[in-house]
Amino acid sequence: MKEIEKKIKQQVYPPVWDPCHYLNVKLRKTYEEFIAELLNEKNKCSVLDYGCGIKPYKHLFGDGIAEYIGADLESNLNSDVTFSPGEKLPFENDRFDVIISSQVLEHVQDVEHYMNECYRLLKPDGILLLSTHGTWQYHASPYDYYRWTRKGLELLMEKHNFEIIKIKPVLGQLALTSQLRLNFYTSSANNFGGIAKILLLPVSFIYQFKMMLEDLITPERVKERDSAIFVLMTKKSGRI
């Protein structure tokens, strides 16, 4: 448990010299904003974390949850329920108030099945909180299949009868190029080890401020079009 807590802290509250500090803090703050908003509307939510990983955002719900169930592939020992790709989850229809899908969709081979399950498992007017990559490097976990434009996500939600409440971009075009460059430096430093990893720390620290400035000067209309990550709050509506 302590190891999981350490990983969550490292991912969600990373130190300023962490290569993904700026990105992960912005992503966390977006989830904080969205979760606070839905908790104002719903009391004691039943939550499914679909592709839960280490459940990095569970703590943001505070006392606002009646239950929090993490579902993931069998390889994830931190999950409460396991499933195989393409398999239905063992829950009845209209079970959950909220489904959270954090950086999962790009790793899902059968997106149609995944979205249909989200729809099936949510109560009427249930909320789907979903984030996925717009532009990013390949990262297998265990596989990496998709990247999404804003319009592509809007079309996907419409197709599966989810009404978009809001979409927020995380990391605009200019800052994204710096983040990808820093990711390359980090990978190289990890390969070389030793002094290279030490030298990376001040470089990473400087890049965090560089990305902050780049995001400040990037117009919102550009960020809304091209972003590293898009975070969506959507509501189940209609019938398939």
Instruction: Return the structure tokens found at 154.
Output: 């809007």
DSSP 89: P
Which contiguous run of DSSP H or E holds residue 164? strand 162-172
Asked if 61 contacts 35 with a C-beta cutoff of 8 angstroms, the reply is yes
Tell me if 192 is assigned to some domain. no
Identify the CA nearest to 133 among candidates 98, 95, 97, 176: 176
CA trace torsion 76, 81, 87, 93 (10° rounding):
-150
Domain assignment present for 193? no
Counted domains in the chain: 1
Q: What single-letter amino acid sits at 152?
A: G
Is 209 contained in some domain? Answer: no
Cα(8)–Cα(16) distance, integer angstroms: 16
Structural domain contains residue 183:
no
- Each residue's pLDDT tens digit in the chain (240 positions)? 688 889 999 999 999 999 999 999 999 999 999 999 999 887 789 999 999 999 999 999 999 999 999 999 999 999 999 999 889 999 999 999 999 999 999 999 999 999 999 999 999 999 999 999 999 999 988 899 999 999 999 999 999 999 999 999 999 999 999 999 999 999 999 999 899 999 999 999 999 999 999 999 999 999 999 999 999 999 998 654
Q: Look at residue 110 and tell me if it is in a domain.
A: yes
Q: Is residue 76 part of a domain?
A: yes
For 48-61, what is the HEC assignment? EEECCCCCCCHHHH
> Which amino acid, one-letter code, is at 129?
L
Query: Is 228 inside any structural domain?
Result: yes
CATH number at residue 51: 3.40.50.150
Does a structural domain hold residue 119? yes
Helical packing angle, 195-217 and 173-192, nearest 10° = 180
Question: Which residue range is the domain that position 77 belongs to?
Answer: 2-172+220-236
**Residues in CB range of 109: below 8 A, 6 or more apart:** 85, 86, 143, 145
233 in helix, strand or coil? strand
